[in-house]
Amino acid sequence: MGDHIAKGQELAKRAENKLHACCPLFGSNLEDAAELFHKSATSFKLAKSWDKAASLFVKSVKCHLKLDSKYDAANAYVDAAHCYKKTSTSGAISCLNKAVTIFTEIGRHIMAAKYSKEIGEL
């Protein structure tokens, strides 16, 4: 578990550096940062550090939204929600609500319905 946490911290640091690079508005830096946040979150997830993993998935969402990649943003919210389900029902519901909103905006109504049902079950 310690290896996963160390790897997650290193990836999160690299992602933050990508965000604060000299030209943060370039899409490639945002894409790289989103991918690094996702990998970092996955490492924390493997270490069962659920809150940290969820917060990193949310950081990934912010990058995807800046890139106007709404589908990827919604999926990252779902990943965050599944982490929050382990520690905070309200956090999971909040992330799922945001995912449902995005899925509805982009016309993915079946996905929106699926996660609306999951909110109801929580």
Angle at 102 between CA 64 and CA 91, to 5 degrees: 85
Amino acid letter, residue 56: L
Q: Does residue 70 surpass a pLDDT of 60?
A: yes
> pLDDT category, 60, cuts 50, 70, 90?
very high
* Phi-psi sector, 26: left (phi>0), alpha (psi -120 to 50), beta: beta
Please say whether the beta carbons of 98 and 77 come within 8 A: yes
User: Is the model more confident about 115 or about 4?
Assistant: 115
Q: Which CATH number, 2.60.40.420, 1.25.40.10, 3.20.20.80, 3.40.640.10, labels domain 2-121?
A: 1.25.40.10
| Residue pointed to by tokens 């965000």 | 19
Q: What is the mean pLDDT of residues 47-75?
A: 95
Residues 6+ apart with CB under 8 A from 79: 38, 41, 57
Q: Does residue 23 surpass a pLDDT of 60?
A: no
Amino acid letter, residue 23: C
Q: What does pTM read for this prediction?
A: 0.89
Domain boundaries, the chain: 2-121
Residue 26 confidence (pLDDT): 55
Enter the tokens of residue 15: 């992602």
Q: Does residue 25 surpass a pLDDT of 80?
A: no
Please say whether the beta carbons of 40 and 60 come within 8 A: no
